[in-house]
Amino acid sequence: MNYAKKSIEDIGTAGKKVLVRCDFNVPQDENGEITADTRIVGALPTIKYLADKGAKIILCSHLGRPKGKVDPKYSLKPVAERLSALLGKTVALAADVVGEDAKAKAAALKDGDIMLLENVRFHAEEEKNDPAFAKELASLAEIYVNDAFGTAHRAHASTAGVADYLPAVCGFLIQKEIGIMGKALEDPKRPFVAVLGGAKVSDKIGVIKNLILKCDTIIIGGAMAYTFKKAAGRNIGTSRFEEDKLDYAREVMVRAVGMGVGFMLPIDHVCADHFGEDATPVPCKHIAEGMMGLDIGPKTVEKYSAALKNAGTVVWNGPMGVFEIPAFAEGTKAIAKAIAESDAVSIIGGGDSAAAVEQLGFADKMTHISTGGGASLEFLEGLELPGIACLLDK
């Protein structure tokens, strides 16, 4: 995929109606109150830049899964209110997406004004990338800006379809994602170390296949490590593994050796006899019968940390253990600390890894924390993301 895409700085926006796809899919409590506004705050640089340039700004986003029907529970009203407070100016919310109210409000915009369309997923045509719906959405504006990296791997009407009808560029969020992650994959500072965790090898097959061609070392943790350990003939007790991925795991390990890529697996573990909040952690070098590995052990932390200390580039996606249970979160915490203390260009690929980094206060020590879970995973796989591929090349 070509990562050199035009941004809002490469196109004239003064006096133009600009449709901006944001990711306002924010968490809310049972009363509809926003519990974390990180995604809204993340969109502010692009919005403020366009407003300062005198653009007429039409924001759009999805929220939750309303399944193509109008559902007040998923209204973007709380987002419009939070945006207004953060910007210090009114962000008008349209009552619909491509209906009379949206069109009237868009037509009435003055230079620097900002409006927000209702949830684009109130229309089933959005996720189907229906051309007629995309064309009607595009008719509201003269320029399209995608700044929602978290949905860039989806070919929906508001993430890709509208680019068939409008000149399309990226906002600052996507510009940063493709700039930093693209360089890491294409021209990394070496040694290039990938840290991959999580539950399933099957979730990371594409990532491993792509990174084994680019990395100097691949570090494996999480439950997926036990599929590799089992494939190598080691006793894993009752640890979770994927029977149908054992041949693939053997093939990967052989390939890594043949290509001179370091492939690191845990050398000790934190185990328990069952999975749960009440499980008692037991450090062990070898997993005994009736026990399951739920985190990497202290010797593994030491080994992995040493590899990370001298890295030039680190990409991390997936926890080292059952991070949501404190007794089995130490390995993930230790890896976060090791990456934070290294001098490497550090890229955190969303999800639990990003949560760990944020919770531990290491966020400001990382080069980049990706805003997209599924999108960052597909990016690391080297796949073409529809929401980025549709943008104009530089």
CA distance 206 to 85: 42
Q: Is 200 a catalytic residue?
A: yes
The active-site residue, picked from 150, 171, 293, 351, is 351
The active-site residue, picked from 206, 373, 374, 382, is 374
CA distance 171 to 43: 9
In terms of C-beta density within 10 A (0-12 exposed, 13-18 middle, 19 or more buried), how is residue 45 classed?
middle
The DSSP element (H or E) to which 20 belongs, if any, is strand 17-21
CA distance 204 to 345: 22
The active-site residue, picked from 200, 234, 255, 365, is 200
CA distance 207 to 383: 10
First and final C-alpha spacing in the chain: 13
The tokens for 383 are: 């796949």
The active-site residue, picked from 39, 154, 214, 229, is 39
CA distance 103 to 272: 59
User: What sign does the CA torsion over 103, 105, 106, 107 have?
Assistant: positive
Q: What is the helix, strand, coil percentage profile of the chain, to 5?
A: 40, 15, 45
Q: Is 121 a catalytic residue?
A: no
Preceding amide of 78 cis, omega within 30: no
Which backbone phi and psi does 265 adopt, to 5 degrees?
-115, 160
Q: Is 39 a catalytic residue?
A: yes
Count of alpha carbons within 13 angstroms of residue 212, beta-carbon side: 20
Q: Is 50 helix (H, G, I), strand (E, B) or coil?
A: helix
CB–CB of 384/390 below 8 Å?
no
Q: Is 351 a catalytic residue?
A: yes
**Catalytic positions:** 39, 200, 351, 374
